[in-house]
Structure 1
Amino acid sequence: MTTLSKRIIVTTLAGISVSLVIASCSTTDMAVERSTSASGAGVSRSRWAMSEDSAYEDGVFTATGQYGGLPSSITVTVTLVDDVITSVRVTPHATNPTSLDLQRRFAAAIPVVVVGKRIDEVKVDRLAGSSSTPDGFNAAIQRIKEQARNDTSQSPAG
């Protein structure tokens, strides 16, 4: 195989990889736009279904997670279907350029880590060079779990 052929193959594979990343980001963005902005409590939700076998209701859920001493925060929006995260979006809130860069890198990296996992299995450690942002993400996921909990004991009689 010639050097030119190898370069063409490598460039093609790189292009396909970038296309897949871009496609997954746009799918994530479209899936969460149904969510409304968070209230003063930092939580919002849009529910559309409930399964008795699920611990959590299906829907789009949003919460803000704080971390650090300042404190810093990020807003996390997830779509849940049968307790599985099918999309995630992290909105950075940092104003400091270094912190904002770390939050943006975290936001770009997180879908690969959590999409397709059961929400109870999600606990993120250091990711994309950020050691503190995961704390805010985990706090937001905890709040989302609390609001999405499927309490069948309070179901209306039918």
Structure 2
Amino acid sequence: MRRRKPPTWLTIIPAALMMTGHWDAASGATLPQPPQQQEQSQRSRYADGVYTAKGQYGDLPSFIVVTVTLKNSVITAVQVTPQATVPESLERQRSFAAAAPKMVLGKPIDQVRVGKLAGSSGTPRGFNDAIQKIKQQAAS
């Protein structure tokens, strides 16, 4: 039985590059970006800036106003402005407005979707509606 020669560095390096998805030996082309670079380019699909949208929810059109600051598609500031006129609804919107920033600050906008929060189950639907509208505004 014939013994194989160990591979040389010249064969190991291109093989390692092909396995990690950085280089294609056949064409000499660079293959798709590594996951962290892909993640960064996906984050940048929304233009930096301050965006405001009205989010509606409920049978009777209830709404809140959401203002978001985006930097590299990440929420760096958020303000929820209650709009209810009925005292009970206004209190729920205020509680939601106080709790929402803790849930979304520092997150990529594509990962933001809130559920029942601070005892409010309707206001989150309005918030999520506003976030969708903001994403449309900021799409670059």
* Count of aligned residue pairs for this structure pair: 99
Name segments (4+ residues, structure 1) moved above 2 Å. Answer: none
**Corresponding position of 2:130:** 140
What's the RMSD between the two structures over aligned residues? 1.0
**Corresponding position of 2:9:** none
**Corresponding position of 1:127:** 117
CA distance in 2, matches of 1:65, 1:99: 15
**Corresponding position of 2:87:** 97
One-letter amino acid of the structure 1 residue matched with residue 83 of structure 2? H
One-letter amino acid of the structure 1 residue matched with residue 108 of structure 2? R
One-letter amino acid of the structure 2 residue matched with residue 85 of structure 1? I
Kindly report which structure 2 residues correspond to 1:1-158, keeping only aligned pairs within 5 A, or say none.
53=41, 54-150=44-140
One-letter amino acid of the structure 1 residue matched with residue 74 of structure 2? V
Using the size of structure 1 for normalisation, the TM-score is: 0.62
CA displacement at 1:91 relative to structure 2: 0.5
Using the size of structure 2 for normalisation, the TM-score is: 0.69
CA distance in 2, matches of 1:114, 1:55: 18
1:30-76 per-residue CA deviation (whole Å, 9 max, x = no partner) reads: xxxxxxxxxxxxxxxxxxxxxx9311000000000000011100000
Which consecutive residues of structure 2, in runs of 5 or more, have no partner in the other structure?
1-39
Which consecutive residues of structure 1, in runs of 5 or more, have no partner in the other structure?
1-51, 151-158
3-state DSSP class of the match of 1:78? strand
3-state DSSP class of the match of 2:96? helix
CA displacement at 1:94 relative to structure 2: 0.2
